């Protein structure tokens, strides 16, 4: 019998989820399960709380357990990219994975932050970032993806503000290699990457 919101999960239900630590606060299960039910899909989306020391084992278990895919949230995005062999171009460039597609025994790592943010700017806001300066708050999470989406669009100068003790200079190759000036402002001092075309 086909599973649904009324009949519950059946033996043929496709399972996806979200890997993070913690994940109790995540709205992803409610959002995805509501979408699956509305579309009449025999899918279920579950939270997967995985502590940092258990990430490698958790990823190795996805295919044997029959998962079709998972989203990855903090603090596992960077480590997941390091553990997977199959990465999309965006995931490899950003060195972060937020989506895993399971194909047989192969885990494909993707990063949807950059295309998602670019689609938000262009389609939802109707905004063309070409030539526009950008101020990005934060140097972790989705911030690199936002910077990555801004650079190929012909965006202008980019400033990223880091709160407190910022991590190491955040991947200047994402934008500097494209000739876009980057300035990162921290609580203590400033790190600056100049465009290769700058004098």
Measure the CA–CA gap between 189 and 33, rounded to whole angstroms: 45
Q: Which of 77, 110, 148, 158 is catalytic?
A: 77
118 or 17, greater pLDDT: 17
Q: 32 lies in which domain range?
A: 14-111
Binned at pLDDT 50, 70 and 90, residue 193 comes out as very low
32-41, 64-73, 113-122, 180-189: least confident range: 180-189
Same domain, 83 and 122: no
pLDDT 10s digits, 42-97: 999 999 999 999 999 999 999 999 999 999 999 999 999 999 999 999 999 889 99
Which residue, of 67, 93, 111, is where some domain finishes? 111
- The pLDDT value recorded for residue 168 is 44
**Do 90 and 157 belong together in one domain?**
no
Which residue among 96, 111, 126 closes a domain? 111
pLDDT tens by residue, 110-147: 999 888 888 888 888 888 877 788 777 776 667 777 77
Which residue did the predictor score with more confidence, 153 or 101?
101
pLDDT value of position 177: 42
Burial (CB count within 10 angstroms: exposed 0-12, middle 13-18, buried 19+), residue 129 = buried
Residue with the bigger pLDDT between 131 and 183: it is 131
pLDDT digits (tens, 9 = 90+) for 149-171: 766 555 566 676 766 554 544 45
In a domain, 5, yes or no: no
Do the Cβ atoms of 180 and 162 come closer than 8 Å?
no
Domain count, the chain: 2
Mean pLDDT, range 12-20, rounded to an integer = 97
pLDDT at 79: 97
CATH number, domain containing residue 163: 3.40.50
Instruction: Indicate the residue among 68, 83, 111 that finishes a domain.
Output: 111
Q: How far apart are CA 196 and CA 26, in angstroms?
A: 41
DSSP letter, residue 63: T
- The answer to the question of residue 135 being in a domain is yes
Among the ranges given (25-29, 109-113, 171-175), the one the predictor scored with the smallest mean pLDDT: 171-175
pTM for this structure? 0.74
Query: What CATH number has the domain bearing residue 54?
Result: 3.40.50.10860
CA distances from 83 to 11, 63, 97, 104, 110 (A): 30, 15, 10, 17, 13
Residues 55 and 141 in one domain: no
pLDDT at residue 174 greater than cutoff 90:
no
Residue 92 appears among annotated catalytic residues = no
Per the DSSP assignment, residues forming a β-bridge with 46 are 17
Q: Is residue 7 part of a domain?
A: no
């Amino acid at each position: 019998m086909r599973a649904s919101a009324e009949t519950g999960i059946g033996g043929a239900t496709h399972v996806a989820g979200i890997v993070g630590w913690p994940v109790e606060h995540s709205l992803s299960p409610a959002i995805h399960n509501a979408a699956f039910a509305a579309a009449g899909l025999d899918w279920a989306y579950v939270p997967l709380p995985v502590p940092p020391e258990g990430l490698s084992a958790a990823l190795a278990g996805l295919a044997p357990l029959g998962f079709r895919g998972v989203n990855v949230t903090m603090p596992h995005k960077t480590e997941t990219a390091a553990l997977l062999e199959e990465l999309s171009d965006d995931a490899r460039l950003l060195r972060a994975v937020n989506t895993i597609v399971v194909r047989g025994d192969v885990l494909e790592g993707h990063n949807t932050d950059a295309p998602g943010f670019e689609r938000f700017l262009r389609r939802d806001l109707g905004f063309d970032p070409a030539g526009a300066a950008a101020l990005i708050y934060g140097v972790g999470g989705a911030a690199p993806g936002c910077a990555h989406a801004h650079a190929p669009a012909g965006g202008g100068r980019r400033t990223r503000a880091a709160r407190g003790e910022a991590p190491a200079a955040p991947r200047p190759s994402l934008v500097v290699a494209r000739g876009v000036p980057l300035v990162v402002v921290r609580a203590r001092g400033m790190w600056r990457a100049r465009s290769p075309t700058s004098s």
